[in-house]
Amino acid sequence: MSTTKDKLHKGQPVLGGWIMTGNPAVAEIMAGEGFDFLGVDMEHTPTSVDGFYHIALAAKGTGCDIIARLPACDPVLAKQVLDAGAAGIIVPSVNTPAEAAQSVAMAKFPPDGIRGASLCRASGFGARFTEYFQHHNRDVVVVVMLEHIAAVKNADAILATPGVDAVLIGPYDLSASMGLAGQLQHPDVLAAQQAILDACQRRNIPPGIHVVPVDADEVQRRIRQGFRFIACGIDTLFVREGCRAMLKGVR
């Protein structure tokens, strides 16, 4: 079982980096720094399946789980990234129980799902096929993103879906769906986030959120608030903040 899934099952916080650049060297550096997982963003970047494949290769042996944030609830793309070695998938814009069920099904082999089997990289190109097939449905991580006001209203029904391992709130999209784009501290946006957190706690599903700024204190605050699946920063912001810190110190 992956570090991410094991910690989620134990109720421990899981900390992940976020890859927007699609650069394998950046992913390799971040994977070696102690993150439990790296979320590779394929929704808002040009990162392709081929790009994801090379990121997965770069992180091999680091102990860091590579999880694909898909551009949509797409069974074909889910199969391709899992074949390439993804430890799991993050599915955006899950607004209904049916979309949550599809997210689980496309990540798992029959009889629990619809993922096709092959002699792919994830199974050692067939060398570990039997072991991989037997344990994959138990091990794969399925995270659904609740990032629309419609998802807030359907949260309890969505989280009743068997096989959902965690929820990730998309704070920017959630605020945009409420006509409050980018106003993350608006009382209505905070109330919507709290409604999702409350639903997760009722359903015993680990709640997650993306702490976008490079801010360890905010990550700690979110952990105290009850969040357990936390994306920390973005690779581009780590680079920018490092540049700013050095230049500020020199000038």
Query: Catalytic positions, please?
Result: 44
* Whether the Cβ atoms of residue 57 and residue 36 lie closer than 8 Å to each other: no
CA–CA dist 186, 172 (Å, integer): 12
**CA nearest to 67, candidates 52, 51, 77:** 52
Q: How many CB atoms lie within 10 A of CB 139?
A: 15
Q: Give SS3 for 48.
A: coil
Burial label, 224 (beta-carbon count in 10 A; 0-12, 13-18, 19+): exposed
